[in-house]
Each structure stands twice: as C-alpha cells, then as structure tokens.
Amino acid sequence: MSRIDELFTRKQNNILNVYCTAGFPHLESTMAVMKALANSGADMIELGMPYSDPLADGPVIQASSTRALANGMTIAKLFEQIGDLRKTGSAGGLEDLPVLLMGYMNPVLQFGFEKFCAQSKKAGIDGLILPDLPIYEFETEYGNIIKKYGLDFVFLVTPETSDERIRKLDELSSGFLYAVSSSSTTGKDKNFSEQAAYFKKLKDMHLKNPVLVGFGIKDRESFQTACAYANGAIIGTAFIKALDKEGEIDKAVKNFLETII
C-alpha cells in the first residue's frame, strides 16, 4: 500500500495537503519548510517545482516560483535536496508523510521524463501532479513510465468538466482526484457556497479515488467547507503568503497551520 493510500485508509476526512515551492523563500529552504509542515500537522505535502510559465498558478505562487528560480532552483537541485527525504533520523517527521511533486511538463521533459520518474522514486516521492499532461499522452506514452516507478498520478477536474470526463480522469488517477474549486488560477477569492452543487455532485458520484479540493482554500472556514464535501483540501497561496511574511520558517509554518486545523 502506498503512503497516500495508507493515509486515506487511516484518515478519511479533514486531510490537509499543503503546497510549498521548492527553493522558496531561499534556495536551501526546501527541506526546512517540509519538515516544519510535517511537524505542525500537515497530512500531505505538494512540493511545487518552479517554472517560468505556469498555467494555473496565480500571482503569489508565480512570484514564489520566480524567486525560487532566481535563487538557483532546478529539478536537479531539487532531487539533490530531497535525497534524504525518507532517511530515518534526518527526515524530521517526513519518514511516512506522503509527498507529491507538482509542476509542468516542459522542465520535466527537458530533464528527461523517465529519468525524472526514476529520481522521484529514488527520493521517496509518492506521486505526481502535472496539470498540462493530456489524457491521450498519459494513456499512450507517459502513464506506463509513471506506473513502472510506482508513482501515483493525480488528474484535476473543474466545475466545467463533464461527468463522463470526471469518471475518465478518476479512472486514470491514483492516490486522489484534485477538484479545482473554480475555473481560475490559484489564489482567487472564492465563495464556496456557490460551489456547493459542484462539490455535492462529486461526492454523489461515488468516485474511485478520494477527492481533495484546491484553489481558494485560505483559512479554517474555507478548509472546513471543502472538507464537508470532500476528503480534504489543498492550501497553497495563503501558505506561501504566510511563509513570505514571517522570517523564521518553523514559526511561520506552525502559526499558519494553527489557523487552519
């Protein structure tokens, strides 16, 4: 059983997945931020690989990526940093916490797709989120490589996704299904009461995978609203803002997570 499956078996509700950008706020911050998240109550970490031209990221996460790239972050550097991710004694609470890499296909293809998957497996990464990988390419070329290295792959659905396509993406996904709260970039203010019908539809579809809601989750209220309809939620922009505002990483992470859980 994968670490992601084990988490959802052990805890079906109120799963908190936190997004952080590798190499932000400083190049060598990656592991410090992840350890602080593990020790402050996060259930899962979505580690963003900075990219100069992201499709779905709002201005805050884009700015964190720009800064990380300026700091010198690369995929090769990332794998160097997370080499001891699962090493007992040095992992700092990360030994069993599910970690996914989130990013875009261009830098992954430049690095080499199979090499990327192999390095992910070696580092102890549990799954991948690559929003611009189309279904056809996943089914015909990349999916088998991802499965070869035992990685989960998470697809995204939106309120505009047809029921047929939702079921297809659920069938192809493993680990969980990422329910984007609305068709916009990250960080936009959302009125989740307006999304209730969409969230309820997903819940009533009895999908194969657990569902986590992302985009616009920023505080305890929005987190709890998402959790009323799904297995949990993903917080990104609000966390990046908090991390940027507070100088000391452990304090920033602890203080922020205390406002959510």
Tell me the CATH number at 41: 3.20.20.70
How confident is the prediction for the chain on average, in pLDDT? 92
DSSP state of 21: E
Tokens of 199: 């969230």
For 100-150, the pLDDT digits (tens) are 999 999 999 999 999 999 999 999 999 999 999 999 999 999 999 999 999
What pTM did the predictor assign?
A: 0.93
In angstroms, rounded to a whole number, what is the distance separating the alpha carbons of residues 246 and 223?
A: 22
Q: How confident is the model at residue 183 (pLDDT cuts 50, 70, 90)?
A: low
- The more confidently predicted of residues 244 and 137 is 137
- Residue 109 CA, chain-centre distance (Å), reads 20
DSSP state of 233: E
Q: What is the domain extent for residue 142?
A: 3-258
Domain count, the chain: 1
Tokens of 45: 């970490």
Contact by Cβ (8 Å): 248, 28: no
Asked if the peptide bond before residue 159 counts as cis, ω within 30 degrees of 0, the response is: no
Query: Catalytic one among 46, 126, 152, 170?
Result: 46
Say if residue 249 is exposed, middle or buried (CB neighbours under 10 Å; 0-12, 13-18, 19+). middle
According to DSSP, the β-strands at 211-214 and 177-180 are: parallel
Whether 57 is a known active-site residue: answer: yes
Whether 46 is a known active-site residue: answer: yes
For 66-98, the pLDDT digits (tens) are 999 999 999 999 999 998 788 765 556 898 999
Among candidate residues 123, 179, 178, 131, the one with its CA nearest the CA of residue 151: 123
Instruction: Give the CA-trace dihedral at 238, 241, 46, 12, to 10 degrees.
Output: -30
Helix or strand (DSSP H, E) at 214: strand 211-214
Query: Catalytic one among 5, 6, 28, 57?
Result: 57
| Rounded mean pLDDT, 193-217 | 90
Residue 58 has pLDDT above 80, yes or no: no
